[in-house]
A and B are shown apart, each in its own frame.
Chain A
């Protein structure tokens, strides 16, 4: 029976990956062009596109739950419904972290690596929803400031890539740069995936020995204001990065 469940979860995981790719193509080649046809206002169109992704990701997480691949636990997510103009930071244990965050966080914008703007499945999506390209640092802060002032929350994984499981987190300084240069606070979210799956080291078909549980915990907002008028921005960015890295390690009980 256990063996059967294991095999089923491999098939179901395959179905999910297939659905995700197909869904991305369907949305970018049909839904978005239709929205473009009927919604002339550019900022409304972007909002609608983002809402579409929010709902599709929620559907996708629901699908995974229905197929018996995972269970989702959320803590304090009701406080996120009214969140505006914050930098949302989270650790990055698995491939589905961003899907889960966007599924439950309205108004989410993302800073994504340039490569996604070249990925044939995702290019159409990231462009249309106005996600921010991390390619040029000058343009990055302009785009972030505009997006925050529109009330969007910018999701950043400060590690820059998925975590190495069991090891202390190592944050890059991009998130702190955005927070300090755009003078905004952090909304931290910790994510744990048990047993680990869809990590950087594993392939999609390496399904865990049992159904996995993803736990998302929204912590209290972090006040970054003491860094806003620091005389040296590079030092302020480093101090804030170190502080949040230690905070996450403590919350996740990783010894850094």
Chain B
């Protein structure tokens, strides 16, 4: 099982490399849609990539309520600890 820090590092790397988001903008409190300029299509792509990386089944619905970087990390934390 991964720690919160490890998940944040993994997510940051993904956002920087595949969504062109400046690393310095990515903080736990950053809002995905306003501050990080992601759109609803990116959100779907992000879920797909996270599914590939973690090997966990992530239902897009479980991401509907996600608003910040921390929300994603917590959702991942729940998934990895549940297994």
- Which residues between 7 and 44 of chain B lie within 8 Å of chain A, taking CB atoms? 18-20, 39-42, 44
> Once the chains bind, are B39 and A234 in contact (CB under 8 Å)?
no
Judging by beta carbons under 8 Å apart, are B39 and A233 in contact?
A: no
Asked if A233 and B44 make an inter-chain contact with CB atoms under 8 angstroms apart, the answer reads: no
In angstroms, Cα B42 to Cα A103, docked, is: 33
Question: A232 touching B18 by the CB < 8 A rule?
Answer: yes
B25 to chain A, nearest CB (A): 15
Q: Is the CB of B20 within 8 A of A233?
A: no
Q: How far is the CA of A232 from the CA of B15 in the complex (A)?
A: 12
B19 touches A137 (CB 8 A): no
For chain B, what secondary structure do more than half of its interface residues adopt (helix, strand, loop), or is it mixed? Answer: helix
- CA of A174 to CA of B20 in the docked complex: distance in angstroms? 16
* Inter-subunit contact A234/B44 (CB<8 Å): no
Cβ–Cβ < 8 Å partners of B18 in chain A: 232, 234-235
Q: Would A138 and B44 count as touching, CB distance under 8 A?
A: yes
CB atoms of A238 and B39 under 8 A apart: no
Q: Judge if B52 is at the interface, Cβ distance under 8 Å.
A: no
Per-residue interface assignment for chain A, residues 148 to 186, with 1 indicating a CB less than 8 Å from any chain B CB and 0 otherwise: 000000000000000000000000111001000000000
Contacts of B20 in A (CB 8 A): 234-235, 238
Contact residue among A138, A174, A232, A235 (Cβ-Cβ distance under 8 Å from B39) = A174
* Residues of B close to A233: CB separation below 8 A: 45
- Docked Cα-Cα span, A173 to B38, in Å, equals 10
CA distance A37 to B19 in the complex (A): 49
Q: Which residues of A contact B19 (CB under 8 A)?
A: 234-235, 238
- Whole-angstrom CA separation of A111 from B6 in the bound complex: 40
Name the interface residues of B37-74: CB closer than 8 Å to any CB of A: 39-42, 44-45
What residues of chain B lie closer than 8 Å to A138, measured between beta carbons? 44
**A172 near B45 (CB under 8 angstroms)?**
no
Sample (24) of A-B pairs whose CB atoms are under 8 Å apart: A137-B40, A137-B41, A137-B44, A138-B44, A172-B39, A173-B39, A173-B41, A173-B42, A174-B39, A174-B41, A177-B41, A232-B18, A233-B45, A234-B18, A234-B19, A234-B20, A234-B42, A234-B45, A235-B18, A235-B19, A235-B20, A237-B41, A238-B19, A238-B20
